[in-house]
């Protein structure tokens, strides 16, 4: 019970971010990138890896990710940087390899397939991400 209380108190003191997230790294993901910058040794994200990609949070950070639609939450870690996708002027998804590529950033996080499944998010959805200190 003490561990649960400590977790709740920790969560109350940390800011959260609400944004769009996409699911990545599944077997059929044609946008799978190079090796993860956070896994040791560096390797591609596998379909069964559990974690998120986030552009600004440090590798290894523990985060609580909550689906705004389903209300489900998952405690996981930052295992890569990203997402690097954007929406172009026509509303189509484009891959951004660097900040200078055209298009507006699509979301703040990419969820691995298992995290997306646990949250009830198929391809994309709105989430709240809270970093644990």
- Note the pLDDT tens digit of each residue in 50-102: 999 888 899 999 999 999 999 999 999 999 887 666 556 666 655 555 566 66
Q: Tell how strand 109-112 and strand 16-24 pair up.
A: parallel
- Strand, coil or helix: what is 27? coil
* Cα angle: 130, vertex 96, 126; to 5 degrees: 30
Number of domains in the chain: 1
* Cα angle: 72, vertex 74, 79; to 5 degrees: 145
> What is the pTM (predicted TM-score) of this model?
0.76
Give me the percent of the chain exceeding a pLDDT of 70.
64
pLDDT at 125: 85
CA-based radius of gyration for the chain: 15
Asked if residue 4 is part of any domain, the answer here is: no
106 - beta bridge partners?
none
Helix (H) or strand (E) holding 117: helix 113-119
In degrees and rounded to multiples of 5, residue 113 shows phi and psi of -55, -45
Asked if residue 3 is part of any domain, the answer here is: no
Indicate whether 5 pLDDT > 60: no
The whole domain housing 75 covers 15-131
Which of the four pLDDT bands, split at 50, 70 and 90, describes residue 23?
confident
Asked if residue 87 is part of any domain, the answer here is: yes
- For residue 72, give the CATH number of its domain: 2.40.40.10
Asked if residue 1 is part of any domain, the answer here is: no
């Amino acid at each position: 019970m003490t561990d649960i209380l400590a977790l709740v108190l920790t969560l109350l003191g940390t800011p959260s971010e609400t944004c769009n997230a996409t699911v990545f790294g599944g077997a059929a993901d044609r946008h799978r990138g190079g090796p993860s910058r956070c896994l040791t040794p560096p390797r591609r994200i596998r379909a069964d890896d559990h974690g998120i990609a986030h552009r600004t949070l440090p590798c290894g950070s523990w985060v609580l990710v909550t689906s705004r639609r389903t209300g489900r939450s998952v405690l996981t870690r930052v295992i890569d940087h990203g997402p690097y996708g954007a929406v172009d002027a026509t509303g189509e998804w484009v891959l951004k390899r660097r900040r200078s590529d055209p298009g507006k950033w699509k979301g703040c996080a990419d969820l691995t397939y298992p995290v997306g499944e646990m949250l009830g998010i198929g391809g994309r959805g709105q989430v709240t991400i809270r970093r644990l200190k």
